[in-house]
Amino acid sequence: MTAVILATVCAVVYGTADFFGGLASRRSQVLSVVALSQIAGLVLILALLPVLPGMFGGLALSWGMLAGLAGAAGLALFYRALATGVMSVVAPTTAVTSAALPVLYGLATGERPGFWALAGVVLALGAVLLVSQDRSADRTGSVGSALIALAAGAGFGGFFILLAMAPADSGLWPLVGARMSSITTVALLALLTRRALRPGAGSLHIILAAGALDMAANVLYLLAERQGLISLVAVLVSLYPASTLLLARKVLGERLRGIQVAGVACALGAVALIAVA
């Protein structure tokens, strides 16, 4: 039950971080938002190290750095897919792939969730598909953008799997390694593309909030994964688009389509099924 609670809260925090990141991206260049939010996350995780101590070691940092590279690659591919395709294809493809890979990994390594938990997994994957539908996009996405979206989802799924492979007694050190490698990757990308990382006017506080929330969600994921099965935790975490939608409805006044409301309902049902399993 502890893992279910942590993973569900993690999904809410991830969705909130994405909401703030989306707001910031309307005022600043995407690369600036990514770089500065990543730095904010690193500051937070360094501050949390004394609170949630763990065993420092090269193995923890190594797995974390690999996870950070996978996550950074996933993010770059995700934005590339959005640039060449449509959200209604890219978002659900990426989200479901990022959830499905940890499920397959968990099953392959011997995890055996109960019947109702598996039913919750199926319902959760369906919920991600429903809530990710974009009402403003057409349906003419290219095959190329769909393939890039699959690769982006693989990057995000790899981030979850690689973090789970770090030693259980390593505390938050894997996240330190992940953030170090992702910041380095983004900085090199900015250098190669000769893009300034200066944030737009009035956006810095939003970017910092997005980075802090994203790292808080990473911490919650790591704690949840150590308490439960990755095949269930990662699926619950993948429900984060539901909280982004609800925030957009509450704060920005955006209207939800019927299919998205059904997706939110399915997400709640999935959490309930996994919790009682």
Query: Token match 């993690």: residue?
Result: 10
Tell me how many degrees the CA angle 208-167-179 measures, rounded to the nearest 5. Answer: 20
Q: How far apart are CA 188 and CA 218, in angstroms?
A: 23
Q: Which pair of tokens denotes residue 88?
A: 């209604």
Q: What is the pLDDT of residue 277?
A: 59
Q: Which residues, at least 6 apart from 12, have a Cβ–Cβ distance to it below 8 Å?
A: 240, 243
Asked whether the predicted pLDDT for residue 176 surpasses 70, the reply is yes
Q: Does residue 67 surpass a pLDDT of 90?
A: yes
Arithmetic mean of pLDDT, 215-228: 92
Percent of the chain exceeding pLDDT 70 equals 91
Token code pair at residue 233 = 């935790």
Res 229: pLDDT: 87
- The two tokens of residue 127 are 């919920």
* % the chain with pLDDT above 90: 24
Nearest partner of 24 among 38, 11, 10, judged by Cα: 38
Q: What integer pLDDT is reported at residue 180 of this predicted model? A: 92
> Hey, is 199 helix, strand or coil?
coil
- Residues 21-57 have pLDDT tens digits of 878 877 888 788 888 888 999 999 999 998 887 888 8
Most confident range (mean pLDDT) of 2-16, 20-34, 240-254 is 2-16
DSSP 168: T
Q: What is the pLDDT of residues 117-171, one digit of tens each?
A: 888 888 888 887 787 666 555 555 566 777 888 898 899 899 999 998 999 889 8
User: Rg of the Cα trace of the chain?
Assistant: 18
Domain count, the chain: 1
Range of the structural domain that residue 149 is part of: 2-276
pTM score of the predicted model: 0.83
